[in-house]
Amino acid sequence: MQTITVRAPSKTYEVTLGRALLTQAGELTAHLAPGGRALVVTDSHVDALHFPTLAKSLRAAGLTVEKFVFPAGEASKTMDTLAALLSYMAACRLTRADAVYALGGGVTGDLAGLAAALYMRGLPLVQLPTTLLAAVDSSVGGKTAVDLPEGKNLVGTFFQPDRVLCDTAALETLPPAELACGYAEVIKYALMTDRALFDTLCAGDGGALEQIIARCVSIKAAVVAGDELDRGERQKLNLGHTFGHAIEKASGYTVPHGHAVAVGMVLVTRAAVRRGLCPADCLPRLVGLLAQYRLPTETAYTEEELLGAVLTDKKRAGDRMTLVVPREIGACDLLTVEPETVRAFLSLGLGGQP
């Protein structure tokens, strides 16, 4: 078991990683709910897998457990589900002395986190990631959101959790495809800032999943401590996401986030290489590593199909956008550019003319 402290300007909290942590969730977090009630938010898939273990632990610590279950999948990350969850919180008569427990992957954490931030202007929040993607990224750092038909994560807040408990045994129940999606975010951290992690991943993870998660969470903790509100350095965590979100949107959110980010990293790296911003060997090394983790490296979507979604991405500020561009394996830069330059990067990334 290991603990990493996140010192975000708005809140300091601990992220604990270890096997069977769900069985200890009650004793580790009951103090956050002096009112005695725990609302567990989870999806229809995770409910059957992990809710009974969590509920038993919370009840053993003296908490009354309520549960809100929504259909698994990104399609649930909507204003409608959020409204239903907020109404359920009111029907349960939750108060600020009760706590919300987000049990699941990124959709659950984003949705439950936003509801916890909004209901009565803020309830204690415990994040319990059960996917690798949520463990290394979305459960830490306080970004919460739902999607609009116009785009992903367009309605949200920054709202840090009070505690994150990552039960690494729960990650072992993940289907291989789901685990691969998490590795897309792990590879993102490596490409963005950690050449040693990149080399470790190339060598195979050797069963050291907890160490890999700890490394990613430590990187994220440092970034969030310096730029909680995403004004500068934190934007580097969006490496691969500008084009990745466009692929997700173009597919009607049928392409999984991890697959989209994997392809998004390839597109921006290819464009960076072709513009002379990044050494040529970075591209085959990245493509090779993604393939090793069974992630896609190409998309069939055209520039026309992706461009509209790219230009409505929330990473746009006024008429300029910030692109995260690799400089080498383990380092990247933020480029604030005009829409025309974004189009040029997308075109080069897809293999178009320089």
Give residues in contact with ligand GLY (CB under 6 A). 137, 141, 143, 230, 234, 237
Kindly state the smallest distance separating residue 100's Cβ from ligand GLY, in Å: 19
- Adjacent-strand bridge partners of 157: 144
Minimum CB distance to ligand GLY smaller for 47 or for 230: 230
DSSP 204: -
Q: What is the DSSP string of 53-79?
A: HHHHHHHHTT-EEEEEEE-SSGGG-SH
Count Cβ atoms below 10 Å from residue 175 Cβ, excluding itself: 8
Kindly state the smallest distance separating residue 230's Cβ from ligand GLY, in Å: 6
As to burial, measured by CB atoms within 10 angstroms (0-12 exposed, 13-18 middle, 19+ buried), residue 251 is middle
Number of H helices, E strands in the chain: 14, 12
Minimum CB distance to ligand GLY smaller for 37 or for 234: 234
Kindly state the smallest distance separating residue 129's Cβ from ligand GLY, in Å: 13
Minimum CB distance to ligand GLY smaller for 145 or for 342: 145
Minimum CB distance to ligand GLY smaller for 133 or for 306: 133
Minimum CB distance to ligand GLY smaller for 77 or for 143: 143
Kindly state the smallest distance separating residue 6's Cβ from ligand GLY, in Å: 11
> Closest CB to ligand GLY belongs to which residue?
237
Minimum CB distance to ligand GLY smaller for 22 or for 181: 181
CA distance linking residue 354 with residue 338, whole number of Å: 17
CA distance linking residue 332 with residue 271, whole number of Å: 13
Minimum CB distance to ligand GLY smaller for 53 or for 322: 322
Kindly state the smallest distance separating residue 242's Cβ from ligand GLY, in Å: 12
Helix (H, G, I), strand (E, B) or coil at 146: strand
CA distance linking residue 54 with residue 77, whole number of Å: 23
Kindly state the smallest distance separating residue 43's Cβ from ligand GLY, in Å: 19
Q: How are beta strands 143-148 and 64-70 bridged, if at all? A: unpaired
Cβ pair 142, 159 in contact under 8 A:
yes
Kindly state the smallest distance separating residue 234's Cβ from ligand GLY, in Å: 5
